[in-house]
């Protein structure tokens, strides 16, 4: 039985006051939550978030990392720095990074490697563009994204990876994938891993992301191969986020 995991991706939204209000709000409802809950604030707020969440079940993740170790990489943040704040998760390969910042499947795979080498759990995002879905290429796109990571770090590494299937057309649009669309792709991802190793495929958490909200979360997370959610917009309101956390 896989534990439900709900992760909040705050994207580029935060202030000291907001971090305080949001985390305190989430913490106030955590006693009725069975899911593993992770919030991912922007880098400058990781320290504040970590301090607020100490001695609670709430876990903290970063939104990105450099594939490189220390050195002349202006503006970059490496895995060791993230770990320095007691952070244990990192989002890798979000579609906004892939499309806006040109992160290829190979760069994403390098970032997964860097995270794993530093004992950070990558939340590996995969998903197709609308045109790719309409052309019937969803499975081919997702397979290519996953296979690039398998090629770099091996299938064993998926013991320590959380996958998030995020159809790009559903992110921030209010157009959520139907439970069937999501479940079909989640099952496809699990089958792809089954071809390598059944136990790893059965154990890997696969979260859904893309316009998940308190009203649709239960039906999505109720699907056999959907193990939770990666939540953007709805993670910015403690009340809504907690309702999603209780949906599992």
Please provide the size of the chain in residues: 248
How far is 32 from 246, CA to CA, in rounded Å? 7
How far is 17 from 15, CA to CA, in rounded Å? 5
How far is 131 from 137, CA to CA, in rounded Å? 9
Site size for ligand PGA, by CB under 6 A?
13
Place of tokens 């792709």: 185
Query: CB-wise, 11 or 113, nearer to ligand PGA?
Result: 11
**Helices 16-28 and 46-53: crossing angle, nearest 10°?**
30
Instruction: Give the 3-state secondary structure of residue 174.
Output: coil
Residue 246's H or E segment, with its range, is none
How far is 242 from 143, CA to CA, in rounded Å? 32
Per-residue contact string for residues 7-26; x = within reach of ligand PGA by CB under 6 A: --x-----------------
CA 36 to chain centre: 12
Q: Is 166 in the site for ligand PGA (CB under 6 A)?
A: yes
Residue nearest ligand PGA, CB atom distance: 232
Residue 90's H or E segment, with its range, is strand 89-92
Question: Interface residues for ligand PGA in 184-223 (CB under 6 A)?
Answer: 209-212
Q: Is 63 in the site for ligand PGA (CB under 6 A)?
A: no
Query: Which one, of 160, 154, 68, lies nearest residue 111 by Cα?
Result: 68
Query: CB-wise, 94 or 113, nearer to ligand PGA?
Result: 94
Of 28-36, 67-75, 141-149, 226-234: span binding ligand PGA (CB under 6 A)? 226-234
Of 66-74, 144-152, 178-186, 232-240: span binding ligand PGA (CB under 6 A)? 232-240
Q: Is 37 in the site for ligand PGA (CB under 6 A)?
A: no
Shortest Å, Cβ 235 to ligand PGA: 7
Of 105-113, 134-142, 196-204, 231-239: span binding ligand PGA (CB under 6 A)? 231-239
- Which residues are marked as active site? 94, 166
Q: Is 232 in the site for ligand PGA (CB under 6 A)?
A: yes
List of residues contacting ligand PGA (CB under 6 A): 9, 166, 171-172, 209-212, 230-234
């Amino acid at each position: 039985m896989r534990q439900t995991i709900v992760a909040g991706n705050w994207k580029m939204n935060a202030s000291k006051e907001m971090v305080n209000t949001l985390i305190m709000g989430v913490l106030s409802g955590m006693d009725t939550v069975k899911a593993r809950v992770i919030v991912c604030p922007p880098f400058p707020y990781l320290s504040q978030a970590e301090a607020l969440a100490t001695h609670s079940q709430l876990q903290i993740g970063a939104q990105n990392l450099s594939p490189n170790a220390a050195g002349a990489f202006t503006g970059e943040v490496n895995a060791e720095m993230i770990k320095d704040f007691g952070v244990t998760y990192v989002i890798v390969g979000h579609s906004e990074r892939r499309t806006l910042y040109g992160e290829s499947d190979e760069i994403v795979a390098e970032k997964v490697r860097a995270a794993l080498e530093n004992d950070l759990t990558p939340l590996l995002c995969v998903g197709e563009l609308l045109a790719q879905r309409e052309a019937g290429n969803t499975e081919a796109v997702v397979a290519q994204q996953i296979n690039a990571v398998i090629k770099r770090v091996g299938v064993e590494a998926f013991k320590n990876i959380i996958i998030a299937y995020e159809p790009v057309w559903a992110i921030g649009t209010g157009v959520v994938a139907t439970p069937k669309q999501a479940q079909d792709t989640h099952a496809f991802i699990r089958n792809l891993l089954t071809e390598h190793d059944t136990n790893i495929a059965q154990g890997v958490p696969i979260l859904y992301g893309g316009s998940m909200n308190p009203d649709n979360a239960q039906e999505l997370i109720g699907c056999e191969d959907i193990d939770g959610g990666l939540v953007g917009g709805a993670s910015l309101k403690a009340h809504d986020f907690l309702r999603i956390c209780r949906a599992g």
